[in-house]
Amino acid sequence: MFRSLMGSWQMWALGSAAFAALTAVFAKVGVAGIHSDMATLVRTVVILALVAAIAGFGGAWQPPGEIARKTWVFLVLSGLATGASWLCYFRALKAGDAARVAPVDKLSVVLVAVFGVIFLGEKLSLTAGLGVALIAAGAVLVAMG
């Protein structure tokens, strides 16, 4: 049971949500006495060290030359998008309340659904589409409140 639970995407997604919530709270406190770009740099160095240790000691390391060119291109683009997102996020946290910034940041869920349909050919069921619309509405209401 535990092994199947640890292998489920739902469990990892809930972990992601929980850690993202902690990220917002910790970052809001941490960014108070520092420029938001410097805060992003510190956070990035910590993440780099953590993920390098996990990849190295966890057996996930593979020689960079064995990674396909297309994979490199899209991972670099993803990294650039992540960096831009983090810079924007920390600036928003510096200026606004974490309880309002984080839900607006989660409009990324809505955008992923839209981009998935447009660029990846994914399909949304009526129920999933309604859920995405409710997420959008909720983020707007939190931002206005």
Question: Cα(58)–Cα(73) distance, rounded to whole angstroms?
Answer: 25
Q: What is the per-residue pLDDT for 1?
A: 63
Q: What is the per-residue pLDDT for 3?
A: 67
Residue 31, class by beta-carbon neighbours within 10 Å (0-12 exposed, 13-18 middle, 19+ buried)? Answer: buried
Q: How confident is the model at residue 145 (pLDDT cuts 50, 70, 90)?
A: confident
**Are 145 and 100 contacting, i.e. CB atoms less than 8 angstroms apart?**
yes
Q: What is the per-residue pLDDT for 83?
A: 94
- At 17 the three-state DSSP class reads helix
**Are 93 and 36 contacting, i.e. CB atoms less than 8 angstroms apart?**
yes
Q: Is the pLDDT of residue 72 over 90?
A: yes
Task: Render pLDDT for 21-36 as a digit per residue (tens, 0 to 9).
Answer: 898 899 999 999 999 9
Q: Where are the domains of the chain?
A: 2-105
Q: Which of 12-16, 113-117, 122-126 has the weakest average pLDDT? A: 12-16
Q: Is the pLDDT of residue 39 over 90?
A: yes
Q: Mean pLDDT in the chain? A: 92
Q: What is the per-residue pLDDT for 143?
A: 86
Question: Cα(85)–Cα(108) distance, rounded to whole angstroms?
Answer: 10
Q: How far is CA 143 from CA 34, 107, 109, 139, in A?
A: 25, 11, 16, 6
